[in-house]
Structure 1
Amino acid sequence: MAKQCKYSCDTAAETLEWIKAIADFIKPFSFLINAHVVNFFKDRLWEAVDEDWLQCLSNESVESLLLIPSGIVQDHWPTSLKEFILTLKSLVYPREQADLKKVFPNFQPTSLNSVLAQGMNLKKKHEVEVLSDIVSSVASAVRADAVIDVGAGQGYLAQVLAFEHQLSVVAIDACSHHGKVTNARAERIKKHYMAQMRKFGTLLECEEVRAVISIGCCYNLLSEEGFANARIQYGFPMSCGVKSVNLSLGKSSRDLACQSAERWKSLGKDAGLHNFELHAFRAAFQMVLHKYFPEVGISPSIGRQGKALRRKQQRKIIKSELQAEESTYSDLPQMACNMEEACSVTHSGESEAGNTSGVRSDVDALFTKMSLHTGSTCETTMSTYKYSLFEKFCQSGLCRLGLKPSDDINFLGIWKEVEPYVSLIGIYWSLRAAFGPLLETLILLDRLLFLQEQGDVLESVMLPIFDPAISPRNVAIIAKKPDAGISSHHSSR
């Protein structure tokens, strides 16, 4: 069994030691971290994975695979596999929510009323409640006159800070539409509050910044030194320590850093199987593009359904299942026909609007229904239906790319070529997703080390402030000028 090492990031030296341990661990697995799963079949990516691991995990349930990113192993697994997962887990920054009352002076947890919470889902409400209390506590400790909310979105946090905590707030966001929504929402809230958001001048009027609170997210959009999206000032690496390690991530790794172990664990069997099978379809579709449309490019995006539309579709599926449990595969051919019609409609109208959700909704609905009823039909019939769905998936993908399906495309031949390896994609994705929390840890430690390298000018602390089951991106980095009353003993494991 792998030794469970403990790391600390209380000092710059300890943080750098942790970073070097991560760098040493991930370098041999660059083939997995930097892989693009759409090329799974085309490049036979599974061949780079330990054969004993694949053979062992091929016999595991979907539920067991979904627990791999959380560092949970089974006793009968190969020793090397268990050591890999447990060592990886030992390098990940812990996500259990900190005892915030012990960290921040005057921390008073509050629950937002219905007026301030309007428009917020459970995740947003939890984040705003916790973060607003922390910001208020830090602002009081450092005697700040104003708060600047950078990347304010629709102003949920800024308005709670203003109306509930009576702080002067400047909300900044790159999207002008968000500003309009924020102002309209503030006008509605003002009717219920005596205190109002006080106007604050330009940033040049600030004599100094006394504290900064940063919550990491959207690592896929992070600029990186040496890559196309790098600018004069880039987001990774920030610290001299990481630069000295000579470690780069790349887009695939930054995408992977967004994977959440908590979300994987909470998926459940049906959603997990659905996720794996959709990845298999997309990778098989890449084979179609590679063979018949080589001019398209390496791995074009064929669109993703928005979160709201996806949730809406899932609710429809659940409602349909409850209302008509007796329904089985009898309606699947009709659904396939509806998908074909939807493809033609979407293709004719999406060039202007850029709509990419319509066909994917039907694909999701049909695929989920198949996954839920895998036990109700024989293996041969299931294989036939999966091929039928794969063909429809390809047709909708071609429509989305503005490509005309040709009678010369041998969808069946490609499906038969990849079908023996379809079950491996879930294993591959689970092993790869295990690196997500580790890569996020690396990015966060780089930011913390950058602050620690400034010496006594700043005091910094890194800690998980949200419930990870509700908000997986839950780590905050807080920096302040000295003697502001914030405990700095919560960065370590």
Structure 2
Amino acid sequence: MLTPLPTGFLHRGPLPPAWQPALASATPVQLAGLLGGRGGAGATWPLSLLAFAAAARGLAFPRGCPRGSPRPPCQSSQLHPLLRRHVKPKKQHEIQRLGKLLRRLSRATGCERVVDVGAGQGHLSRFLAFGLGLWVTAVESDGRLVGLAERFDQELLRELGKTRGPAHGGPCPLTPRAPQHLAGRLDPAAPWGEFLLPPDPPGAGPAARNPLGGPGGSEDGGRVLVTGLHACGDLGPALLCHFARSPAVAAVALVGCCYMKLSTAPGYPLSASVAALPGHQLSYRAREAACHALEEYEGRLRGGGAHLRAHCYRAALESLIRAADPAKRHLGLQPGRKAHGLSFPQYAQLGLPLAGLDPAGIPLDSGAVGAMLEQQHKVVAFCTLGQLLAPAVETLILLDRLLYLREQGFHCALLPLFNPRFSPRNLVLVAARTPLATVLAGLDKDREDEDLGEAESPQEEQSFHNPQ
């Protein structure tokens, strides 16, 4: 039997009774004020709820302070036009900032070779190679993306071949130095020089065995920098483990993602410090919440409108799936990016097949479904509480990684490199075998230059978390 949301949502759920009336009657704008720590117009929040919100913010690493327009960044004039092809403005913002951090790591460590793991379509790798003149090996598990990355490289090389001398048109000329692309999956247990398993999908080609190939394709035994931009799930911890036990890796710069996919080994916890804490375990729900975009959600609350409907749709769809098959959980369904523009039956007809269920056998316009859809404001309030906790959970995951590196004597820092309004996973973990002071000292100047080049991109304040 289908159980509607009201029986287990705010009124009979685990929330303190004193919170429930205030949350149930709060407007989206008031919830946005609670989320952002700026009160709420006309809202009277229980002191215990305000203390909970303040504690959640106080326990989280600062994420940078987005300012200015809420619009995404524009095409960046700081990035060469040929490197902006096929790259969305958000990704331009990310590869430019991470690329300059890696260039500073290169200068500080004397390493000119970078291994970009989980390289996708190769946007970061192209910027590092063509734009910054580094020798880059791009590793990607999806053979189709490897082929696409190589095609984009060839397009760029053809454009460079049409010009005489270095290609201009941006803040600096490009060099005709394409990345080397390898198809393969990372093996956390293998030695660094043999860390690749066969790529996905099966048959996409054999895994290359030498991610340390030199400029001429030969193995020269030199040291490298390793990076992963939004390394999903266990990929991030695996890269840190390779860094810790591989003298060939001089430094690593890692941006995590998809924490709900973390396993208990080697994903979380990594450090002995966190593993020794009672109750350190994180549920799937907590890890999934840590992937949310707090700044974007606050803006959505302030804007109100139909976009908030998607949360209630997803909650109702989950109830339908559980009622049909209680074994189906944490499916990660994405029925569409414009769900708010659909009716719920249309949304469910897209989502149920993704869960292996036939929409024809499930009533989509019953009274129970209607009762759930009427609780949209309660779903939004509940989601707001999850967003309050999300940065604290992400902090615990990243602090565990930072402590793991500290326990082994490495120099490390955690810094909010990207604007969190556009890039919710904006905290970059940097670790090296040598001090990082010279690397971090110049990042403020880099940021100022980049902000000037992003005409409508808001500037941000940033702070470093550097427990050296």
TM-score by length of 1: 0.65
CA distance in 2, matches of 1:196, 1:64: 53
Match of 1:28 in 2: none
For each residue in 1:364-389, what CA deviation from the matched residue of structure 2 results, as whole angstroms up to 9, or x when unmatched? 324xxxxxxxxxxxxxxxxxxxxxx4
Match of 1:20 in 2: none
Structure 1 counterpart SS, 2:81: coil
Which string of whole-angstrom CA distances, capped at 9 and with x for unpartnered residues, describes residues 235-289 of structure 1?
211111100003111221111110121111222556x553543332343344445
The verdict on how the C-alpha distance between 1:427 and 1:195 changes in structure 2, with shifts beyond 3 A counting, is same
Alignment match, 2:268:
236
Query: Of 252, 256, 262, which aligns to 1:216?
Result: 256
Post-superposition offset of 1:426: 1.3
Tell me, in whole angstroms, the C-alpha distance in 1 between the residues paired with 2:321 and 2:255: 39
Q: Is the 8 A contact 2:335 2:347 kept in 1?
A: no
Distance in structure 2 (CA, Å) of the matches to 1:115 and 1:142: 29
Deviation at 1:402, TM superposition (A): 3.8
1:415-430 pair list within 5 angstroms: 415=369, 417-418=371-372, 421-430=375-384
**Deviations 1:392-441, CA, capped at 9 Å, x for gaps:** 544555555342535x9484331355466443111111112211111111
Instruction: Identify if the C-alpha distance between structure 1 residues 40 and 435 changes in structure 2 by more than 3 Å, giving closer, same or farther.
Output: farther
- Measured after TM superposition, the shift of residue 132 of structure 1 is 0.9
Distance verdict in 2 for CA 1:290–1:169, change over 3 Å: closer
Q: Distance in 2 between matches of 1:462 and 1:40?
A: 43
Q: Work out whether residues 162 and 169 of structure 1, in 8 Å CA contact, stay in contact via their aligned partners in 2.
A: yes
SS of the residue 1:423 aligns to: helix
In the other structure, the counterpart of 2:141 is 174
**Superposition deviation, residue 169 in structure 1:** 0.6
Question: Which amino acid in structure 2 is aligned with residue 474 of structure 1?
Answer: N
CA distance in 2, matches of 1:420, 1:404: 21
Structure 2, unaligned stretches of length 5 or more?
A: 67-75, 161-173, 182-209, 213-218, 224-247, 442-462
Distance 1:410 1:216 in 2: 38
Q: Is the 8 A contact 1:461 1:491 kept in 2?
A: yes
Matched, 1:441 2:415: no
CA distance in 2, matches of 1:398, 1:156: 34
Equivalent position of 1:253 in the other structure: 286
Please state if 1:461 is matched with 2:429. no
Give, in angstroms, the shift of residue 454 of structure 1: 1.1
SS across alignment from 1:115: helix
Q: 1:128 to 1:198 in 2, by over 3 A?
A: closer
Residue type of the partner of 2:78? Answer: S
1:60 aligns with 2:26: yes
Alignment partner, residue 197 of structure 1: 178
- Could you say what secondary structure the match of 1:170 adopts? strand
Q: Could you tell me whether the CA contact under 8 Å between 1:40 and 1:425 is conserved in 2? A: no
The residue that corresponds to 2:455 in the other structure is: none
The equivalent position to 1:49 in structure 2, one of 9, 15, 34, is 15
Code of the residue aligned with 2:150 in structure 1: it is: N
The 8 Å contact of residues 348 and 364 in structure 2, kept in 1 or not, is answered as: no
In the comparison of the two structures, how many residue pairs are matched? 356
Question: SS where residue 45 of structure 1 aligns?
Answer: coil
The match for 1:314 is: none
* 1:171 match: secondary structure: strand
SS at match of 1:52: coil
Aligned residue number for residue 490 of structure 1: 464
Structure of higher CA gyration radius = 1
User: Conserved in 2, the CA contact under 8 Å of 1:97 and 1:464?
Assistant: no
Identify the residue that residue 76 of structure 1 maps to in structure 2: 44
Q: How does 1:257-406 map to 2 (within 5 A)?
A: 257-269=290-302, 272-289=304-321, 293=324, 295=325, 297-299=327-329, 301=331, 303-305=333-335, 310=337, 364-366=340-342, 389-398=343-352, 401-403=356-358, 405-406=360-361
Match of 1:476 in 2: 428
Q: Which residue of the partner structure matches residue 19 of structure 1?
A: none
Deviation track 1:305-340 (CA, whole Å, cap 9, x = no partner) reads 45xxx3xxxxxxxxxxxxxxxxxxxxxxxxxxxxxx
Partners of 1:252 and 1:143 lie apart in 2 by 42
Task: Note if contact 1:259-1:436 (Cα within 8 Å) is conserved in structure 2.
Answer: yes
In the TM superposition, residue 154 of structure 1 has moved relative to its aligned partner by 0.9
Amino acid at match of 2:105: V
Asked if the contact 1:215–1:475 (Cα under 8 Å) also holds between the matched residues in 2, the reply is yes
Comparing both structures, which one devotes a greater share of its residues to strand? 2
CA contact (8 A) 1:276 1:425 kept: no
Contact preservation (8 Å) 1:218, 1:258? yes
The answer to whether the 8 Å contact 2:413/2:464 transfers is yes
Q: Is the 8 A contact 1:69 1:435 kept in 2?
A: no
Give, in whole Å, the separation in 1 of the partners of 2:423 and 2:349: 36
Q: Distance in 2 between matches of 1:257 and 1:474?
A: 12
Q: Residue by residue, what CA displacement relative to the aligned partner does 1:195-219 show, whole Å, maximum 9, x if unpaired?
A: 3137595437345211111112221
Q: Which whole-Å deviations, capped at 9, do the CAs of 1:43-69 have from their partners, x for residues lacking one? A: 603222122222112332212223444
Q: CA RMSD in A?
A: 3.2
Unmatched segments (≥5 aa) in structure 1: 1-37, 99-108, 311-360, 367-388
Which structure has more RCO (C-alpha within 8 Å, separation ≥ 6)?
1
